Amino acid sequence: MIRAMPASAHPMRPDRRHWLLATGAALAGCAAPGPSPGPDDGSVDGSAWARACAVDGLAPAGPWTHRRYGNRRPTDYRATEHGGRPALHARSAAGNSLMRLPLKAADLPPGARLRFSWWADALLEQADMKDPQADDAVARVMLSFDGDRQTWSRRDHMLSELAQLMTGEPLPYATLMYVWDNRYPVGTVIENPHTRRIRKLVVQQGPQQLGRWVEHERDVRADYLAAFERPPGPLTALGLMTDANNLATTAEAWYGPLVLRESALITR
């Protein structure tokens, strides 16, 4: 069951311009910035983990790339093997960045299913996705979509322009995040505290499955429809993100390969 929960109310700062700039900086993490690639990028893109990822019916528009945000401390991402499978190891020491695979914008394949797995040994007990000061997560899988931006609010247009200034690209039309959370029940949908264009769906809650690989298979179209209350537009990117910058703490996770396929082609 999907439970929709709006972000908690937070008062506007007296200086609206300062607030917008701060918000734009926060949303830069959901845009597709173009900072210089890190020294580990090539090893990730050419790794066994990257080769095991698959996006049937869609074409990558570039390699897996580590996306940093200006002078912010990045999360460290490295290809490795963990628990008997190729993995992407993410370790954040008060950091915030993501691994992203850009796609040539195209509609989802019929019955598209996304299979992914993750492993964590600890969660962030103080994290709260409804609080912009505590919006961190040990593990997130992200999908970005295109769409009709004429339906956006004036505020979303302003935030997208700020993201463009800060990152070189506008805010995606919509971003759906699958999250392992410590606080909210599975099925909860939470809007980003700054914009309704980003929705987080809790697909795993609590510490019960720490220290092991946890498998997930999601109906992307159904999840998007539940989160945004309309069908998805073209898919433009996949991403992974482990962050701990708001809480200024550490977070660590391993991600198995991402596989997006038509439901009829999924094999167990």
**What's at 83, amino acid-wise?**
G
How big is the chain, counted in residues?
268
Residue 257 has pLDDT above 80, yes or no: yes
CB 115 within 8 A of CB 228: no
140-193 residue pLDDT tens? 999 999 988 888 888 888 888 887 777 677 788 999 999 999 999 999 999 988
How many whole angstroms separate alpha carbon 200 and alpha carbon 141? 10
Q: What mean pLDDT value characterizes the chain?
A: 85
Confidence of residue 8 (pLDDT cuts 50, 70, 90): very low
Q: Note the pLDDT of residue 82.
A: 98
Helix, strand, coil percentages (3-state) for the chain, rounded to 5, are 20, 35, 45
Of 218, 186, 208, 30, which is closest to residue 120 (Cα–Cα)? 208
Q: Which residue has the higher pLDDT, 267 or 128?
A: 128
* Residues 6 or more apart whose Cβ sits within 8 Å of residue 135: 127, 128, 129, 192, 193, 246
User: Which amino acid is it at 265?
Assistant: L
**For 94-113, what is each residue's pLDDT tens digit?**
999 999 999 999 999 888 99
Whether residue 224 has pLDDT greater than 70: yes
Q: Give the pLDDT score at 118.
A: 99
Query: How high is the pLDDT of residue 164?
Result: 78
Only one residue has tokens 């439970």, namely: 3
Q: Report the 10 Å Cβ neighbour count for 58.
A: 21
The fold adopted by the segment(s) 3-265 is: Jelly Rolls (2.60.120)
Tokens of 47: 């790794």
Q: Please say whether the beta carbons of 29 and 171 come within 8 A.
A: no
**Three-state SS for 45?**
helix
Higher-scoring residue by pLDDT: 206, 30? 206
Q: Where are the domains of the chain?
A: 3-265
